[in-house]
Amino acid sequence: MLGYILKRVVSLLVTFIVVSLIIFSLMRVIPGGPFDEDKMPLSPAAKAKIMAQYGLDKPPAIQYLRYMASALRFDFGIPYQSPGETVVQLLGRAWPPSLILGGLGMLIGTPLGMLLGIMAALRRNRPIDYFASGLSTLGMTVPVYVISLMLMLVFGVWLKWLPTSGWGTPVNWILPVTAYAVTPLAIFARYTRSAVLDTLNKPFVTVLYAKGLPFRLILFKHILRNAAIPMITVFFPVLIGITTGSIFVEQMFRVPGLGSYFVTSIQKRDYPLEMALILLLTLMVGVAYIITDLAYYFLNPRTRVKGTE
Amino acid sequence: MNAVLSVRELKKYFISRSGPFWKPKIRTVKAVDGVSFDLGENETLGLVGESGCGKSTTGSLLVRLLDPTSGSILYRGTELAGMPENELAPIRKKMQMIFQDPYASLDPMMTLGAVVAEPWDIHGLYGTKERRVEAEKLLALVGLEGDYAKRYPHELSGGQRQRVAIARSLALDPEILIADEPTSALDVSVKAQIINLLRDIRDRRGLSMIFVSHDLGVVRHVSDRIVVMYLGRVMEEGLSKDIFARPRHPYTRALLDAIPLPDPSRIRERKRIRGEASLKDALADACPFLPRCPNKGAGCDSQRPPLAELGPGHRCACLYPDTKEAF
Amino acid sequence: MAASPTVRSPLYYAWKRFLGNKASLVAGVFILLLAFAALCAPLITPASYEAQSFLNDALAFPSPTHWFGVDNVGRDLYSRIIYGTRVSLGIGLVSALASLLIGVPLGAIAGYSGGVADWIVLRLVELFSVIPPLLLAILAASLLGGGILNIILISSAFGWVGVARLVRGQVMTVRTKEYVQASRGMGALPRHLIMRHLVPNSVSPIIVGFVLAIPQAMMLEASLSFLGVGINPPTPSWGQMIADGLYYLFFYWHLPLFPTLFLALTVMATSIFGDGLRDALDPTLKGK
C-alpha cells in the first residue's frame, strides 16, 4: 500500500518536472520578452545589465537548473511587473481573494448541490427532478463567464441590488461567490442524484425496508454512506473547474486574485510570475489528484480488502 | 493407431507479477501441467473435468490461441508447438474451434453470411459471389435454410447462433474440430439438437473431434474415448464405455456418481468427496487429488502417479485405483 | 420456420433510442438551424460583420432595423452574431475532426498493443488531465499569437485526449471478445482483426468522441477570445464580443447579452446532443 502512494507521488513529481520543462522552454523559445525594443526601449548597456540581473544572459539549461533550485527554496524571483517585491510576496497578496471566493463558492455550492441531488433522486420524475437535472446541465455546459455576466446583468444592472465589481466588502463577494458556486452545485447535483438512485435500486435497500426500518434511517445510515464513495472522485473535476473559472470570474468582477494575475502575467510576459503560478497550480492540482485517489482507495472497502485468491 | 493429433507432456504456465518492482510477488498458475493423449482418425475424444482443470486451456493450446510453455503437439507428424505464426496458416485450416458462448463468438456488427464467410476472407479464398453461395450452403447444412445470411446475430437464439458457429468452423473444410463446451450455455432441449448436429456432421464428413466439457452426461453421447483431467493433469483415459462401466480413478468415480439420475427410486451408494479443487494443492511431486481422495495411501504424497495401463487402452494415474463396477 | 420480415442492424436500434430523447432532438434541431444560419450568413444579414456603417446609431438598442442593436463602432450586432456562428461552429467542427485524426489512431494502438505503447499514451493522457488544459491553452495562445489556425491547433492538442480515451477503452474491450479470438483461431492477422472487427465495433465511441469534442473546442475558442488571445478582430467571435461588450454592461447591456446568449445556447445544445448520441449508441459509455 505504501508502494501505491510512492508510485503516485513519483508520478506527480515526474509530471511536475515535465510541465516545468515544457513551460520553461516555451517561454524561452518563443520570441518576445518583456525587454523587447518596442515595449521598453533601452540602450544596449542598460539592457545587458538588466538581463544579467535577471539571469537572462546564461544558456537556457543553466537558467532552468538555477530556477528549479531556487524554486525548491520557494524563491521564485521578482515579478517584472512589480519589481518592488518578490513573486512570493505578490502571491501572498493575491492568494486570499481567490481562496476566499473560490472556497466560499465550493462550501456553498457543494452541500446545496448534494441536497438538490438527493431530493431529485428521492422524487424521481417529479418537477424537482427535472429542475435539478436542468440546472445541473446548465451549470455544467454554460461557461462560467457567461454565468457571471448573467448574474451581473440581472442583479447588478437591471435590479441594481448588488455591486458588480471590486473587492472591498463582503457585499462585493456575493455575486462572484454565486458564480463560483454554480459549478460545484451542478456537478454535485448530478452525481449525487445518480449515486443515490443507484444505491436506492440495490437489493439490500429493499431488504432494509422490508425489515421495517424507517426510511429516514435508511437514508442517512445506509444510502448516503454508499453514495458518498463515488462522490469523492467528483471532487477533483470540481476543483479544476473552480481553478480555471477563477481566471474569468476575477477578470469580470475585477478581483485582484491569482486568476487575474495569471492573465496579466501572460499578457505582459512576466516570466517569473507566470512560471511560479503555473508550477504552483500544477502542484496543487496534482496533490488534489493524489488525495482523491487515496481517499477513494481507503473509503471503498472493496479495494481495501483483497479477498480470497 | 493412426494418430491425427499427438500431444505429449503439454504444459502451460501463466506467470503474473505484482507488487512493487523491488519486491515482486510472482505467481505461477500451472493451468496445464503435463498432458498427453492421441487423437485418431474419425475419432471423437471427450476431454472432461470440473471448471478450472485446464481442459479449455488445452483446447486453446491445440489451435495455438495460446502458446505452450513446453511440450509437443504433433499434427500428422508436424510439430506445431513453437512453429512461427506465418507457417501456421495452412495447418490452421485443418483444425477449427467452436467456442462456448454463442452470444460472444459472433461479431454483432456482421451479418451471418459474413460471419460464415470470414474464414475465406482471412485466407483469401473464393470470390464474392462464390462466398455468398457457399455461405448459404453451409447455413443450410446446419439447419438454417432460407435467407438467414442477411440477418444479424442478435436476431437469433442461442442454439441458432451456435449452429452458425458450427457452420463457420466447417468453412475451411477442416479435419479436426475442437468443440469447447459448445452446449454449456444452451438450454437442455437445445443441447440435444446441437449434439445431434455435431454427430451428424462428424459422421458425414469423417472428422475427428475433441469435445471439451464438464458435463459427463453430454460427453457420453458423443465420444469414443474419454480423457479425464484434474488440476491440469490427466487422471484417467480410456474408451468411453469402459470409463462409464468401470471407472478406475477415484476422481472419475466421484464425477460419475455425481451425474443426476432421472429416476428417484434408484438409490445408489455414492462416494462423496470433500473440499474444492484448488491449484495450490497441485504439488509437483504428489498426486493432485490427494487432499480429497478417499483411497489415499502410502506413496501418494511422494510422487506423481504415472499413467498405468490397467486394461486394453484404459490408463489411470492412481496408485490405488477402484475395482468395483459403476452402478 | 418463417423468415423474418425486415433486417435490423444494431444501428437501427440506436436511432430509435435517440429519437426517444426529446432534449437531444430539440438540441439537434437548434444546431441544424445554427448551421443553416452560418452557411447562409450573407443572405440573411443586412450588413457585413466589419462594416462600420451605422456610426450614427452606435450603441443603439435593438429595433426593427437592427434586431440586436448596434455595437460601439457602428456595426450591426445581429450580423456580427450570425457571422460569429461561422467562426464558432467552424472552429468547433475542424478542431473536433483534427482531434479525431490524432486521438483515434493513438487510442486504437494503445488499446490494441498494450504494453509500452499503451503506457506512453496513458502517460500523455494523464499529463493533459492533471494540468488544467485551459491554463496551458492560454499560455500557448498568448505565445503563438491568436488567429484561427493557432486556435484550431491548440484545440486539437487538447481535444484528442477525450477521443483517445474512449477509443482505447472500446478497443480493449473488443480485443478480448470471443469473436476476435475466434478470428485469431482461424488464422487472422492483426490487420484483418483491426479492420474487420475492432474498427466497426468502435464506431460508437468514435462518433461520440467527435460530437463531444465540438463543444469543448468551441468553449476553448470562446474563452481564449474572451481573454484577448484568441480570434483577432475584426473577425467576430462571440467570446471576444462578450469581452468587448463587458465595458458597456451598465448602460448598453445588449452588447454583451446577445453573444452571451448565443454562446450559452450553442454550447448547451451541442453538449446535450452529444450526450443524447452517446446514450443512444451505447448506454454503457455513460460516466466515462
Give me the pLDDT at residue A43, please: 67
User: Do B2 and B75 touch, CB atoms closer than 8 A?
Assistant: no
Chain C residue with minimum CA distance to B119:
C186
Domain count, chain C: 1
Give me the pLDDT at residue C4, please: 45
Chain C residue with minimum CA distance to A141:
C268
Nearest to A23 among C132, C139, C260 (CB): C139
- The per-residue pLDDT for range B202-227, each reduced to its tens digit, is 899 989 999 999 888 888 888 999 99
Query: What is the rounded average pLDDT of the residues B134-161?
Result: 87
Highest-scoring range by mean pLDDT, B25-29, B49-53, C73-77, C165-169: C165-169
CATH of the domain at A182: 1.10.3720.10
Residues of A with CB under 8 A from a CB of C: 11-12, 15, 18-19, 23, 26-27, 30, 32, 137-138, 140-143, 145-146, 149-150, 152-153, 156-158, 164, 194, 240, 243-244, 247-248, 251-252, 262-263, 266-267, 274, 278, 281-282, 285-286, 289
Distance of residue B274 Cα from the nearest chain A Cα, in angstroms: 19
What's the pLDDT band for A31 if we cut at 50, 70, 90?
low
User: Do B197 and B163 touch, CB atoms closer than 8 A?
Assistant: yes
Of all helices (H) and strands (E), which one includes residue C147? none
Query: What is the rounded average pLDDT of the residues C231-240?
Result: 82
**Percent of chain C whose predicted confidence (pLDDT) is above 70:** 89
Decide if B152 and C8 are in contact by the 8 Å CB cutoff. Answer: yes
Query: Residue C83's domain spans which residues?
Result: 12-285
Residues of C with CB under 8 A from a CB of B: 1, 3-4, 7-10, 177-179, 181-189, 192, 196-197, 200-201
Residues of C in contact with B150 (CB under 8 A): 7
Nearest Cα to Cα of residue A85 among A283, A275, A272 = A272
- Is the residue at C275 inside a domain? yes
- Is the residue at C4 inside a domain? no
Decide if B99 and C178 are in contact by the 8 Å CB cutoff. Answer: yes
Give me the pLDDT at residue B210, please: 93
What's the pLDDT band for A36 if we cut at 50, 70, 90?
low
- The per-residue pLDDT for range B67-113, each reduced to its tens digit, is 899 899 999 888 888 888 878 888 888 899 998 888 888 988 888 88
Residues of A in contact with B20 (CB under 8 A): 3, 6-7
Handedness of CA C215, C218, C224, C226 (dihedral sign): negative
Three-state SS string over A203-229 comes to HHHHHHHHHCCCHHHHHHHHHHHHHHH
Strands (E), B153-263: 176-180, 208-213, 225-230, 233-239
Residues ≥6 apart with Cβ < 8 Å to C136 = C158
- The per-residue pLDDT for range B142-153, each reduced to its tens digit, is 888 888 888 888
**Percent of chain B whose predicted confidence (pLDDT) is above 70:** 93
Give me the pLDDT at residue A132, please: 84
- The per-residue pLDDT for range A170-216, each reduced to its tens digit, is 777 888 888 889 988 988 888 888 878 777 777 877 787 788 777 77
What's the pLDDT band for A60 if we cut at 50, 70, 90?
low
User: Do A119 and A128 touch, CB atoms closer than 8 A?
Assistant: yes
Fold of the CATH domain B3-109+152-260+272-316: Rossmann fold (3.40.50)
Interface of B with A in 1-40 (CB under 8 A): 19-20
Distance of residue A287 Cα from the nearest chain B Cα, in angstroms: 22
Decide if B118 and C1 are in contact by the 8 Å CB cutoff. Answer: no
Decide if B19 and A3 are in contact by the 8 Å CB cutoff. Answer: yes
User: Do A262 and A209 touch, CB atoms closer than 8 A?
Assistant: no
What's the pLDDT band for C1 if we cut at 50, 70, 90?
very low
Give me the pLDDT at residue C282, please: 64
| C61 φ, ψ (degrees, to nearest 5) | -80, 165
Decide if B19 and A6 are in contact by the 8 Å CB cutoff. Answer: no
Give me the pLDDT at residue A40, please: 55
**Percent of chain A whose predicted confidence (pLDDT) is above 70:** 76
Q: Is B124 on the interface with A (CB under 8 A)?
A: no
Q: Give the CA distances from residue B156 to residues B23, B128, B164, C159, in Å, rounded to whole numbers and listed in that order.
A: 51, 25, 10, 40
Cell output for B235: 487422471
- The per-residue pLDDT for range A262-309, each reduced to its tens digit, is 888 777 777 777 777 877 887 787 788 777 777 777 766 665 544 332
Residues of C in contact with A12 (CB under 8 A): 130
Residues of A in contact with B19 (CB under 8 A): 3
Give me the pLDDT at residue C286, please: 45
Residues ≥6 apart with Cβ < 8 Å to B230 = B49, B50, B53, B251, B277, B288, B289
- The per-residue pLDDT for range C176-232, each reduced to its tens digit, is 888 888 888 888 888 888 888 887 888 878 888 888 888 889 888 888 888 877 887
Neighbour subunits, B (≥3 Cβ pairs < 8 A)? A, C
Decide if C9 and B152 are in contact by the 8 Å CB cutoff. Answer: yes
**Higher-confidence position of B324 and A104:** A104
Three-state SS string over C13-57 comes to HHHHHHHCCHHHHHHHHHHHHHHHHHHCHHHHCCCCCCCCCCHHH
Neighbour subunits, A (≥3 Cβ pairs < 8 A)? B, C
Decide if C267 and A251 are in contact by the 8 Å CB cutoff. Answer: no
Chain A residue with minimum CA distance to C253:
A153
Decide if C1 and B121 are in contact by the 8 Å CB cutoff. Answer: no
User: Do A247 and C227 touch, CB atoms closer than 8 A?
Assistant: yes
Decide if A32 and C143 are in contact by the 8 Å CB cutoff. Answer: yes
| C158 φ, ψ (degrees, to nearest 5) | -100, -20
Whether the per-residue pLDDT at A49 is higher than 50: the answer is: yes
Give me the pLDDT at residue C287, please: 39
Distance of residue C240 Cα from the nearest chain A Cα, in angstroms: 12
Give me the pLDDT at residue A309, please: 28
Residues of B in contact with A6 (CB under 8 A): 20
Residues ≥6 apart with Cβ < 8 Å to A272 = A76, A77, A78, A79, A80, A87
Q: Is the ipTM of this complex over 0.85?
A: no
Residues ≥6 apart with Cβ < 8 Å to C41 = C82, C83, C85, C86
Look-up of cell digits 424537482: A128
Look-up of cell digits 492477422: C189
Q: Is C250 on the interface with A (CB under 8 A)?
A: yes
Domain count, chain A: 1
Give me the pLDDT at residue A41, please: 58
CATH of the domain at C167: 1.10.3720.10
Long-range pairs, B21-24, Cβ under 8 A, ≥24: none
Nearest Cα to Cα of residue A238 among A138, A102, A94, A101 = A102
Give me the pLDDT at residue B166, please: 92
Indicate the average pLDDT of chain C: 80
Look-up of cell digits 448565443: C262
Nearest Cα to Cα of residue A4 among B16, C120, B21, B28 = B21
Length of chain A: 309
Interface of A with B in 6-35 (CB under 8 A): 6-7
- Is the residue at C197 inside a domain? yes
Query: Residue A167's domain spans which residues?
Result: 87-303
Distance of residue A277 Cα from the nearest chain C Cα, in angstroms: 10
**Higher-confidence position of B194 and A71:** B194
Give me the pLDDT at residue A95, please: 82
Decide if B89 and C1 are in contact by the 8 Å CB cutoff. Answer: no
Indicate the average pLDDT of chain B: 85
Query: What is the rounded average pLDDT of the residues A242-269?
Result: 81
- The per-residue pLDDT for range A117-137, each reduced to its tens digit, is 888 888 777 787 888 888 888
What's the pLDDT band for B20 if we cut at 50, 70, 90?
low
Distance of residue C86 Cα from the nearest chain A Cα, in angstroms: 19
Give me the pLDDT at residue B65, please: 87
**CA–CA gap between residue A236 and residue A285 (Å, rounded):** 8
Lowest mean pLDDT among A231-235, B38-42, C5-9: C5-9
pTM greater than 0.90 (yes/no):
no
